[in-house]
């Protein structure tokens, strides 16, 4: 019989040979499963219902070597703190200490500087607010440009911080415009990668599936998508590690 102590609102933690594993119910799953949440450097053991959590814990303990190897390969969390250097839609951007209101200002050599104040957690939240604002503005521009080329209706645009996908598109219905959501962290990726994701989601306004017609639209907009998809597969975990818990 397992005893789980609730330490987080989104799941119980157990220890597997000194490694933390989070137990979580996933009603959409049909079986016990393990996966790595790279942004948190945490392994999730999921079950379809609460009755299966004990089995999920046993399964996790039987896969200790797998868990250790995946955690060792995951990027370490990176704190959003003064001195950190990023790129914001390809422009160098440095985090700096400031007083009063958080500001995005021009620095030397065409670089950007985010000036913020507060203790570490408050400082990081202030920086994220600026980055989200800039990401929203940038993705509105990219979406407008791609939709004009496609002859597609202009969507409403929002930014989010989901981990499972880089963007999503909901077609317009009953007179409402389509809506597109982007992960704000894409603003920190190389601009061609961010542009590819925008093209991908805007193409979904006309082609809601991933069939040949959809990929033809994407290629018309940005050329071969393979390098951008590979970049996201390889470097995406590093983007998610920025500002992640423990960083």
**What is the average pLDDT across 181-208?**
97
Contact present, 70 and 63 (Cβ < 8 Å): no
Q: Is pLDDT above 70 for 8?
A: no
Q: What spatial distance separates the first Cα and last Cα of the chain, rounded to whole Å?
A: 34
pLDDT at position 18: 85
pLDDT at 21 exceeding the cut of 80: yes
CB atoms under 10 Å from CB of 101, counted, come to: 9
Q: Give me the long-range contacts of 99-104 (CB less than 8 A, separation at least 24).
A: 102/126, 102/127, 102/129, 102/130, 104/130, 104/134
Q: 85-96: per-residue pLDDT in tens?
A: 999 999 999 999
Q: pLDDT per residue over 62-82, tens digit each? A: 999 988 888 887 777 889 999
**Going from the N-terminus, what domains does the chain have, and what CATH number goes with each?**
12-73 (no CATH), 85-241 (3.30.2010.10)
Structure tokens at 144: 């407008």
- pTM, full prediction: 0.78
Tell me the pLDDT band of 171, cut-offs 50, 70 and 90. confident
| Mean pLDDT across the chain | 89
The helix (H) or strand (E) run that includes residue 191 is helix 191-206
pLDDT above 80 (res 247): no
């Amino acid at each position: 019989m397992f005893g789980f102590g609730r330490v987080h609102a989104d799941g119980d933690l157990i220890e597997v040979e000194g490694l933390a594993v989070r137990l979580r119910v996933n009603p959409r799953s049909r079986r016990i499963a393990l996966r790595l949440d790279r942004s948190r450097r945490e392994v999730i053991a999921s079950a379809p219902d609460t009755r299966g959590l004990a089995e999920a814990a046993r399964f996790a303990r039987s896969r200790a070597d797998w868990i250790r190897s995946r955690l060792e390969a995951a990027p370490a969390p990176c704190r959003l703190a003064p001195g950190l250097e990023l790129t914001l839609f390809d422009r160098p951007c440095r985090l700096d200490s400031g007083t009063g209101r958080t500001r995005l200002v021009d620095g030397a050599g065409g670089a950007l500087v985010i000036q913020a104040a507060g203790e570490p957690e408050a400082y990081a939240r202030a920086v994220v607010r600026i980055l989200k604002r800039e990401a929203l503005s940038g993705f509105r521009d990219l979406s407008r440009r791609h939709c004009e080329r496609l002859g597609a209706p202009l969507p409403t645009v929002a930014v989010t911080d989901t981990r499972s996908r880089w963007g999503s598109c909901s077609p317009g219905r009953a007179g409402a415009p389509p809506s597109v959501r982007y992960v704000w962290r894409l603003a920190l990726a190389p601009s061609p990668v961010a542009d590819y994701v925008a093209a991908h989601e805007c193409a979904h306004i006309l082609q809601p599936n991933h069939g040949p017609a959809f990929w033809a639209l994407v290629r018309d907009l940005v050329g071969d998508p393979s390098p951008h998809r590979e970049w996201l597969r390889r470097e995406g975990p590093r983007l998610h590690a920025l500002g992640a818990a423990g960083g």
